[in-house]
Amino acid sequence: MIYLDNAATTRTAPEVVEAMLPYFTENYGNPSALYSLGATGKKAVNEARRRIAGVIGAKQEEIYFTSGGTEADNWALKAAAEGSAYKGRHIITTRIEHHAILNTCKYLEKRGFEVTYLDVDAYGRIDLAQLEGAVRPDTILISVMFANNEIGTLEPIGEIGRLARKKGIMFHTDAVQAFGQLPIQVDELGVDLLSASAHKLNGPKGIGMLYVRSGVKMGSFLHGGEQERNRRAGTENVPGIVGFGAAAARAMDKMVQKAAVERELRDYLIGRIEAEIPYCRLNGHREQRLPGNVNFSFSFIEGESLLIMLDMKGICASSGSACASGSLNPSHVLLATGLKQEEAHGSLRMTLSEENTREEMDIVVEELKQAVARLRNMSPLYEDFIKSTQES
């Protein structure tokens, strides 16, 4: 099997699983308990919090554990909106956010908030002048993702942070794809709220966090006990948190080397596809791009058919985001970059890890060439196109 869907989820690293296991077996105490079995859990949770804070240059007490990236995004937007509603009801985000952001914005619109969705250019980058022009006296929150999960494009987070500071507006970034993959310093970037999720960095599924800058007024998300300093009630997911902490430490150790390996494989794969498969287009930005992201549109074919053919050869990839697959709507991200419906339908995302090899990339290119050629041979659109080129 060749796994090229690391933006959807990653393999839990063996050392992460090992770090978690004792917290299912002997160290099962509730961190809120007063006896030492509870204290062991509490200590482990705080050690994980320290490691995770370290990834983004935050303080321990600014990290709040959640059930994942989706919950962190929901919490950030809903609490920031409600908490600042007395100042205004206008929010700015982008058209290419994850559905955890977009659908939360829709929910807030139904509750009387107004949302501006910024356009992106052909590479998926927002325009800072457009952002500045969208700011109003009643703007209370800007939410722009750090890196896009479909096309890998990196947004100008530092510049957005500076603008938000200057205007006194709260700034949230969904950094689920970038956390532990790229250097992030919340103070330098001017970020007030940041979402992350363990399973995108070789940690377990079902655990994530929201960074909340100290001093930022944020309501609680879950009401109940006093866990997470009264802001997110419920007995801590101790094994998950320990796994997240181990994954964060591992990601920090490997960050530079992992990114270098992924970039090299990525550029090799992009280069070969562009050279050897006609009528394709690279989606996303060539440089401002996640190290492991490759996303192409192939004219005259359906991405879904391509996925099935690759799956038969043991290659796991994606056509857009996992959340959107299974539906026939073309990717909102690709449409926002200006692709036509049919181009967006013919797209393929391959997201690499440092465990992939050049040999695997060679196999993928060969299989892709064959699959694309076979699908095009069955396509009436392609037949018409070839005829038209022969006539002219």
Ligand X SMILES: *Cc1c(COP(=O)(O)O)cnc(C)c1O
User: Smallest distance from the beta carbon of 346 to ligand X, in angstroms?
Assistant: 22
- Pick from 126, 257, 184, 116: which is nearest to 196 by CA? 184
Tell me the CB-side half-sphere exposure of residue 157, using CA atoms within 13 A. 28
User: Smallest distance from the beta carbon of 253 to ligand X, in angstroms?
Assistant: 22
DSSP H stretches of helix in the chain: 14-20, 36-55, 69-84, 99-110, 128-134, 157-167, 186-189, 238-276, 303-312, 332-336, 341-345, 358-377, 380-391
| Binds ligand X by CB under 6 A, chosen from 89, 98, 258, 289 | 98
| Binds ligand X by CB under 6 A, chosen from 4, 96, 108, 145 | 145
70 binds ligand X (CB under 6 A): yes
69 binds ligand X (CB under 6 A): yes
104 binds ligand X (CB under 6 A): no
User: Smallest distance from the beta carbon of 178 to ligand X, in angstroms?
Assistant: 9
User: Smallest distance from the beta carbon of 75 to ligand X, in angstroms?
Assistant: 12
Q: Is 323 a catalytic residue?
A: yes
Backbone phi, then psi, for 294, in 5-degree steps?
-130, 125
93 binds ligand X (CB under 6 A): no
Q: 10 Å Cβ neighbour count for 206?
A: 16
Contact 157, 189 (CB under 8 A): yes
Nearest residue to ligand X, scored by beta-carbon proximity = 69
In the set 105, 280, 316, 323, the catalytic residue is 323
Binding mask 163-202 for ligand X (x = CB under 6 A): -----------x-xx-------------------x-xx--
DSSP type of residue 179? B
Binding mask 274-313 for ligand X (x = CB under 6 A): ----------------------------------------
- Pick from 236, 253, 213: which is nearest to 44 by CA? 236
DSSP H stretches of helix in 99-229: 99-110, 128-134, 157-167, 186-189
344 binds ligand X (CB under 6 A): no
CA 262/CA 248 separation, integer angstroms: 18
Which residues lie near ligand X (CB under 6 A)? 68-70, 73, 98, 100, 145, 149, 174, 176-177, 197, 199-200, 208
Active-site residue list: 323
